């Protein structure tokens, strides 16, 4: 037998020819590798930079969940949250997608959107369900790329893509105005306060406000901004007047602007234009007049209740506003006076055509002062103690002239109002105090004691007794006149003498001692003198009767002799 191997059979060769050169099992790892490579390439292509944002607190931020969004589109996810090295802030690392990389410039602003409840705004309510997220505002285009940011604690008032203009307001006090305070135009919310700057703390406060488009076209260089926060309560001819801009302005404050009608055709103001912020609407309205005549007056009485913004009136109608009240000292006499500066708007009195025909303001003012016009301090509200200036024409006012002081006209003042009445009463009180009432009372008491002693003396009692007897005789004479006048006439000389002596004696006693007009003795004497007057009239009637009928001495009044 031979050991040579046998050739393969035909069946085995056929099987070998039917087996494919590459196995399909290799497709699975190959496809997986291709997918991995695609995902890796796609990840690297869409993966953006890792940025760092620091916040005061990480409240609501969770690693792996909190997203970075812009216009509700996700731009990345928070990868890590930790504290800064000085432990003062929370540092958040966010992996930003490739499409959000162009937003990462030094103009970008970041803040955490969470539920916020403030008097002027309620926002972020959707995060109660979805959770907090970080919002980005890219800002103006053209910034420098940046990867490290400092987040905002509150949302910005205006986004970079919101049309409108920003203006600067100059105010003396901030009041209740703050970021988010609404800006109104004709009771429509057209913007809000962005921020404020105190400067060096000594000058005015600069407030940045934003007015949305298309309302920014109503802002002109002559527009007046004024504080409309809270409630304004006043007392006018119609009673109590309460003015409220809106409930939102009451809670969070408010700023309102108005433009005079004659300035509506002027071009709108440019952005960042500066305006004064007036304290209220009345001061803003006063500033709307083109002409202001500066005037000054001085008072030596109290000006309590008068302040900047008080009204200047003529016949109860406003013609100006007080601009300054302060205390000054005369360097020569060293006397203190209250200096009151105020402006008068002649447009409140005359139209533009009438003003052009008039003389200069100085000439008109001098003529009125010559006619007796004076500045009087008047109380406009007895409840609050508020005072205003009143221009009045004082009768028989001493002639004087106007003065000049630092470009303003100095007008003479005149005392008036409650303070003047109080001062007069004070002078009267001082004069009354100067009268020696105690000494007068002592002298009067001594005089009354002297009179009482005199009246109680025997001379007065005797005089009264004799006077009473005389009056009784006179009465009997009158009653028995019809019985015949002859017997009575015999007694007339004695009666007349007695009556004359009694009256003389009484007058002498009264002249020596005197007596009070409200005493019992005086009243008795008045009744006694009335009786004496009645007696005298009876005697005169008797004399007249005897002059006309002398026969009555023989026949009596009845015409018959008394003896018959």
- pLDDT tens profile 321-337: 898 999 988 878 888 99
Q: How far apart are CA 245 and CA 229, in angstroms?
A: 7
- Residue 402: pLDDT band (50, 70, 90) is confident
Does 275 lie in the same domain as 180? yes
Domain count, the chain: 4
Does 276 lie in the same domain as 258? yes
Determine the pLDDT at residue 443: 73
Does 331 lie in the same domain as 262? no
What mean pLDDT do residues 462-469 have? 72
Who contacts 106 (Cβ-Cβ below 8 Å, separation ≥6)? 143, 144, 146
Does 298 lie in the same domain as 424? yes
- Rounded to a whole number of angstroms, the distance between the first and last alpha carbons of the chain is 236
**Residue 243 in tokens:** 């003015």
Does 410 lie in the same domain as 389? yes
Does 505 lie in the same domain as 387? no
**CB 323, CB 308: distance < 8 Å:** yes
Q: How far apart are CA 296 and CA 290, in angstroms?
A: 20
Question: pLDDT tens for residues 218-228?
Answer: 999 889 999 88
Determine the pLDDT at residue 150: 92
Determine the pLDDT at residue 15: 54
CA-to-CA separations, 381 to 236, 310, 388, 500, in angstroms, rounded: 9, 12, 9, 70
- Whether residue 76 lies inside any domain: the answer is yes
Question: pLDDT tens for residues 494-547?
Answer: 666 666 666 666 666 555 445 545 556 666 666 777 777 677 677 767 767 776
Does 301 lie in the same domain as 282? no
The structure's pTM equals 0.52
- Whether residue 7 lies inside any domain: the answer is no
Give the pairing type, strands 317-329 and 311-314.
antiparallel
- Whether residue 28 lies inside any domain: the answer is no
Does 269 lie in the same domain as 376? no
- Whether residue 389 lies inside any domain: the answer is yes
* pLDDT tops 80 at residue 239: no
Among 385, 405, 429, which residue terminates a domain? 429
For 537, the domain range is 439-555
Q: How far apart are CA 142 and CA 532, in angstroms?
A: 124
Does 301 lie in the same domain as 276? no
- Whether residue 329 lies inside any domain: the answer is yes
Q: Break the chain down into helix, strand, coil percent, rounded to 5.
A: 35, 30, 35
3-state SS, residue 493: helix
Does 144 lie in the same domain as 72? yes
- Whether residue 511 lies inside any domain: the answer is yes
Write down how long the chain is: 564
- Whether residue 367 lies inside any domain: the answer is yes
């Amino acid at each position: 037998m031979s050991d040579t191997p046998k050739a393969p059979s035909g069946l085995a060769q056929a099987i070998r020819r039917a087996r494919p050169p590459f196995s399909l099992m290799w497709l699975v790892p190959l496809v997986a590798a291709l997918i991995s490579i695609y995902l890796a390439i796609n990840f690297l292509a869409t993966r953006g930079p890792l940025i760092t944002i620091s916040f005061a607190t990480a409240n609501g931020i969770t690693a792996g969940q909190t997203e970075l969004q812009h216009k509700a589109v996700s731009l990345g996810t928070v990868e890590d949250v930790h504290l800064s090295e000085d432990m003062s802030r929370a540092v958040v690392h966010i992996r930003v997608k490739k499409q959000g990389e162009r937003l990462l410039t030094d103009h970008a602003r970041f803040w955490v959107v969470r539920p916020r409840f403030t008097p002027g705004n309620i926002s972020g309510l959707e995060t109660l369900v979805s959770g907090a997220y970080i919002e980005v505002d890219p800002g103006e285009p053209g910034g420098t790329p940046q990867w490290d940011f400092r987040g905002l604690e509150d949302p910005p008032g205006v986004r970079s893509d919101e049309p409108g203009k920003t203006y600067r307001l100059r105010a003396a006090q901030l009041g209740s105005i703050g970021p988010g305070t609404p800006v109104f135009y004709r009771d429509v919310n057209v913007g809000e306060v962005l921020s404020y700057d105190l400067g060096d703390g000594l000058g005015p406060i600069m407030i940045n406000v934003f007015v949305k488009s298309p309302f920014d076209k109503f802002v002109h260089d002559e527009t007046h901004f004024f504080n409309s926060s809270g409630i304004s309560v006043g007392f006018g001819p119609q009673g109590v007047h309460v003015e409220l801009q809106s409930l939102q302005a009451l809670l969070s404050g408010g700023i309102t602007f108005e433009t005079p009608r004659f300035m509506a055709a002027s071009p709108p103001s440019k952005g960042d234009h500066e305006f004064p912020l007036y304290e209220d609407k009345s001061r803003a309205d006063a500033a709307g007049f083109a002409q202001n005549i500066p005037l000054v007056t001085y008072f030596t009485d109290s000006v309590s209740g008068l302040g900047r913004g008080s009204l200047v009136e003529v016949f109860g109608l406003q013609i100006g506003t007080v601009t300054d009240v302060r205390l000054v000292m005369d360097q020569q006499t060293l006397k203190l006076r209250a200096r009151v500066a105020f402006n008068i708007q002649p447009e409140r009195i005359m139209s533009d055509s009438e003003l052009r025909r008039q003389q200069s303001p100085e000439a008109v003012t001098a003529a009125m002062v010559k006619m007796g016009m004076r500045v009087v301090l008047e109380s406009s509200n007895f409840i609050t103690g508020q005072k205003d200036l009143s221009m009045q024409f004082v009768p028989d006012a001493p002639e004087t002239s106007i003065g000049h002081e630092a470009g303003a006209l100095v007008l003479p003042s005149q005392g008036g109002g409650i303070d003047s009445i109080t001062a007069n009463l004070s002078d009267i009180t001082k004069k009354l105090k100067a009268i020696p009432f105690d000494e007068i009372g002592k002298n009067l008491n001594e005089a009354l004691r002297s009179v009482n002693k005199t009246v109680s003396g025997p001379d007065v009692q005797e005089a009264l007794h004799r006077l009473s007897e005389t009056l009784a005789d006179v009465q009997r004479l009158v009653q028995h006149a019809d019985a015949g006048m002859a017997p009575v006439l015999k007694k007339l000389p004695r009666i007349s003498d007695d009556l004359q002596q009694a009256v003389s004696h009484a007058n002498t006693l009264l002249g020596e001692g005197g007596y009070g007009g409200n005493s019992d003795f005086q009243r008795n004497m008045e009744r006694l003198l009335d009786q004496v007057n009645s007696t005298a009239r009876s005697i005169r009637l008797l004399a007249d009767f005897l002059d006309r009928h002398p026969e009555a001495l023989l026949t009596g009044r009845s015409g018959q002799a008394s003896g018959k």
